[in-house]
Amino acid sequence: MKKILIVEDEANIREFVVINLQRAGYEVLEAGSAEEALEIYAAQKGSIDIALLDIMLPGMDGVTLCRTIRKEDSDIGIILLTARTQEIDKVGGLMMGADDYVTKPFSPSELVARVDALYRRVVRSGGNSGFSEELRSGSFVLNLRSRTLHHNEKQIDLTQVEFQLLEYLMSNPDTALSRTGILSRVWGEDYYGEEKIVDVNIRRLRMKIEEDPSNPRHIGTVWGFGYKWNG
Q: Which residues bind Ca ion (CB under 5 A)?
A: 9, 54, 56
Contacts by 133-139, CB closer than 8 A, 24 or more apart: 135/167, 135/170, 135/171, 137/170, 137/173, 137/218, 137/229, 137/231, 138/218, 138/231
**Closest approach of Cβ 135 to Ca ion, in Å?**
41
Least Å distance, CB 160 to Ca ion, is 26
Residue 97 beta carbon to Ca ion: minimum distance, rounded to whole angstroms: 19
Query: Which residues, other chains included, contact 221 with Cβ-Cβ below 8 Å and sequence gap of 6+?
Result: 227, 228
Which residue number is nearest to Ca ion in terms of Cβ? 56
Cis upstream peptide for 173 (omega within 30°): no
Tell me the residue length of the chain. Answer: 231
3-state SS, residue 93? coil
- Least distance in Å: CB of 32 to Ca ion? 9
C-beta of 34 vs 166, nearer to Ca ion: 34
Distance CA 149, CA 100 (A): 22
Kindly tell me which of 54 and 116 has the beta carbon lying closer to Ca ion: 54
Closer CB to Ca ion, 54 or 99, in the complex: 54
What 3-state class would DSSP assign to 15?
helix
Which CB sits closer to Ca ion, 34 or 118? 34
Half-sphere exposure of 26 (CA within 13 A, CB side): 27
What single DSSP character describes residue 84?
T
Taking the least distance from each CB to Ca ion, the nearer of 60 and 123 is 60
Nearest distance, CB of residue 219 and Ca ion, angstroms:
35
